[in-house]
Structure 1
Amino acid sequence: MKYKFIAIIYLFTLNSFVFSQEIRDQLSNEKISFVEIYSDKGDLIGVTNVGGIFSIDLKNKIKSSKTEKLAFVNSFFETEIIETNDFNDSAVFKMNPIINELKEVVISPNKDKNQYLVLKTYVRSLQINNGKIHYFMDGIVEYYVSLKTKKVKIKFISNRSFENKSIKQLKEKGLTKIFFQITGAPMLNEFLNYNNLIENYNFQKTDLEIKITSKDDNSVKGNLFTNKNGANLSLGFITNDKPKVMKGLGVENILENYNINSFFSASNSEEIGFNALMYFKETRNYKIKAKKDIEYQKVDVTHEVFVLGYRFAEEIDTKKLDQNYSFTNSSSYSEEYWKKVNNVLFQPLAQPIELFIKENLIELK
């Protein structure tokens, strides 16, 4: 009897680890990469992996979060809100895509003296410290893409900036203050281009997708879906098993995850590039602490870029440019641009996030 009892415990324990939970597309049944999981109070609990699977660590965080509801957030899908009790009993969750039929975007070839492709965009950015939103910034941004070098420069046209004053900085003691801010307009990644992708990764093509794998160990790094509506690229550069450790200026900074999601008005993979970009999202997950601190702060950052229009220019139209990932300490706008985002992929922030910003952050003016 003793051996049977031990065996039953072993099988029960083994089964709890084998029980896999994942998120899939309601229509295609494909797995959805990098879905953000929020509590009913707007706290970020974690993110699924490139295969749409909940890690054991993420499931444990959900269990200990004491939230009654969970919000599943991915920019290409309608936000799904479920009861936490239902999460514990389900293996597969479905999300409805928001993309129906997109019109092809056509840009006339550059002529004569044009040196830049200019993307007019709406950008929004969240920085979350230990699960609580610390900074929020959005604005109208122009990206200047050099037609020769493909290097990108940016200029904010309008912006709103918000801060949660209740959250302490990384270090505040006497005159010494260490800030960690990475809120603002993101750098448009070099891999938003087919030639750069194929040069740095292996492609494994199937009927439904292209699996993007590492040239070093053939591990899956992302995927590329294409159909008549466009192309969807998901790519993970840094993951928990191979974090990037950075030290300097009295700070230890561990980048645990770095992922991108993007959508292009391109019917085949060879056409993806800046001139077809419609949407870009970047997520980064850090652990960071001052030199003498024992505990790390967990910092999660998301940046989104919604393309509103394209044009060519002979030169950059302004002398004063802005820095990527740079938080502006005051708002500057003359109209409510955030209510006029003309992009088919745009959807408001998830309700728990909107509510948290409204109740806990103040606009800097």
Structure 2
Amino acid sequence: MKYKLVLLLFFINLNSLLFSQEFRDKVSNEKISFVEIYSDKGNLIGITDVDGLLSIDLKNKIMASNSMYLTFVNSFFENEVIGIDDFYDGAVFKMNPIVNELKEIVISPKKDKNQYLVLKTYVRSLQINNNKIHYFMDGIVEYYISLKTNKVKIKFLSNRSFENKSISQLKEKGLAKIYFQIIGAPIINEFLNYNNLQENYNFQKAETEIKIITKEDNSLKGNFFTNESGANLSLGIITNDKPKVMKGLGLENILNNFNIKSHFNTTAFEEIGINTLFYFKETRNYEIKAKKDKEYQKVDVIHEVFVLDYRFSERIDAKKMDNNYSFINSSSYTEKYWENVENQLFQPLPKSLELYIQENLTEIKK
């Protein structure tokens, strides 16, 4: 009798995992693409697909995490925390959209002598190795975009840098340590432009949505949505079905997923671009190892850019520029800039991540 009860409970749990679970907008009931799911320990368990559906593999990872609660994160919606029992019982998870009061972007008058469009931003960046946060960095960053070439240069005005010193670096036998760092200010992606997107993908237009389709096999990779708050872009540039394999410098890595989300201060699809950018986020998932190692490490990286101000400039107002995706090895700031981020899409990190950083990472100071 005892064995029958255990077997019955097993099939009940298995059945709860097999039925379709999805994420939807609480207001419009539209599907939500690429929802990040975090455990109560602060690790990124995985991300839903472009249709907002949880794969069987992701459900299995959630079950194996032994979390008491989960945090759902999507940049355009309020973070949602749910108990694990409610997760198993739920079929549709609805999230509250963040309402951004769309305002006209005021940029000082452009003159012929101006050479750059400058975005002043708050940048937040995380690197997670084997489900443990390895690096955290944030700061105030200026992006200088050339009006002639569209090339972008960056400068950190202030920053905080944290490291988890308990996590070991990759190392080949008899060789020095290999540092895999993709932490810091991200590149403003080429796909944050309507014309570039149109050159690389096919569009299927509806009244308030454009579906982004690959030209090779017509598979769905993302979408645009517009509302009174502006335009939202979600795009899976690289997905599990077509990972990118890279080798070099004693390192092998596989980029399994590369997703971006962006919000623009415009309600017209054709007007999206750096000059209307309000928010940008990219998430990447790698498997990495030194060439002689047998097992891969799992590495998740998350970068966010919150635009605070726009202006034109005749020149770059800094002698030395910084590199994208480059960890600055010491903090440098005079005020607590992270406590007053004036961007309506800004939300604190999930509580589980904040707690893990506080308890396990060390701020690097001069």
TM-score by length of 1: 0.94
Task: Indicate the SS of the match to 2:222.
Answer: strand
- The CA deviation string for residues 98-154 of structure 1, in whole angstroms up to 9 with x for no partner, is 225322323355211111100000000000011111100000000001112111110
Q: Give runs of aligned pairs for residues 86-235 of structure 1, distance below 5 A.
A: 86-108=86-108, 110-171=110-171, 176-235=176-235
- The CA deviation string for residues 159-210 of structure 1, in whole angstroms up to 9 with x for no partner, is 0000011111122766610110001000000111111111211110112310
Q: Give runs of aligned pairs for residues 307-326 of structure 1, distance below 5 A.
A: 307-326=307-326
- Are the aligned partners of 1:107 and 1:275 in contact in 2 as well (CA < 8 Å)? no
Q: What is the distance in 2 between the residues matched to 1:54 and 1:305?
A: 27
| CA shift for structure 1 position 347 | 1.1
| CA shift for structure 1 position 303 | 0.1
- The CA deviation string for residues 323-342 of structure 1, in whole angstroms up to 9 with x for no partner, is 10000110001111101211
Task: Indicate the SS of the match to 2:60.
Answer: helix
Q: Could you say which residue in structure 1 is the equivalent of 2:8?
A: none
| Superposition RMSD in Å | 1.8
- Structure 2 stretches of 5 or more lacking a match? 1-10
Letter in 2 for 1:93: F
- Are the aligned partners of 2:237 and 2:259 in contact in 1 as well (CA < 8 Å)? yes
Q: Could you say which residue in structure 2 is the equivalent of 1:5?
A: none
Q: What is the distance in 2 between the residues matched to 1:13 and 1:89?
A: 10
Q: What is the distance in 1 between the residues matched to 2:108 and 2:322?
A: 28
| CA shift for structure 1 position 256 | 0.2
- Are the aligned partners of 1:227 and 1:268 in contact in 2 as well (CA < 8 Å)? no
Q: Give runs of aligned pairs for residues 271-282 of structure 1, distance below 5 A.
A: 271-282=271-282
Task: Indicate the SS of the match to 2:316.
Answer: coil
Q: What is the distance in 1 between the residues matched to 2:353 and 2:14?
A: 36
- Structure 1 stretches of 5 or more lacking a match? 1-10
Q: Call closer, same or farther: CA 1:17–1:298 in 2, change over 3 Å.
A: same
- Are the aligned partners of 2:172 and 2:292 in contact in 1 as well (CA < 8 Å)? no
Q: Could you say which residue in structure 1 is the equivalent of 2:84?
A: 84
- Greater mean deviation of Cα atoms: 107-116 or 68-77: 107-116
Letter in 1 for 2:322: D
Q: What is the distance in 2 between the residues matched to 1:88 and 1:268?
A: 39
Q: Call closer, same or farther: CA 1:36–1:246 in 2, change over 3 Å.
A: same
Task: Indicate the SS of the match to 2:154.
Answer: strand
Equivalences, count: 355
Letter in 1 for 2:218: N
Letter in 2 for 1:63: M
TM-score by length of 2: 0.93
Q: Call closer, same or farther: CA 1:58–1:317 in 2, change over 3 Å.
A: same
Q: Could you say which residue in structure 1 is the equivalent of 2:4?
A: none
- Are the aligned partners of 2:16 and 2:88 in contact in 1 as well (CA < 8 Å)? no
Q: Could you say which residue in structure 2 is the equivalent of 1:6?
A: none
- Are the aligned partners of 1:38 and 1:44 in contact in 2 as well (CA < 8 Å)? yes
Letter in 1 for 2:348: P
Q: What is the distance in 2 between the residues matched to 1:17 and 1:89?
A: 9
Q: What is the distance in 1 between the residues matched to 2:252 and 2:138?
A: 28
Q: What is the distance in 1 between the residues matched to 2:189 and 2:70?
A: 30
Q: Call closer, same or farther: CA 1:144–1:301 in 2, change over 3 Å.
A: same
Q: What is the distance in 2 between the residues matched to 1:248 and 1:137?
A: 26
- Are the aligned partners of 1:17 and 1:56 in contact in 2 as well (CA < 8 Å)? yes
Letter in 2 for 1:282: E
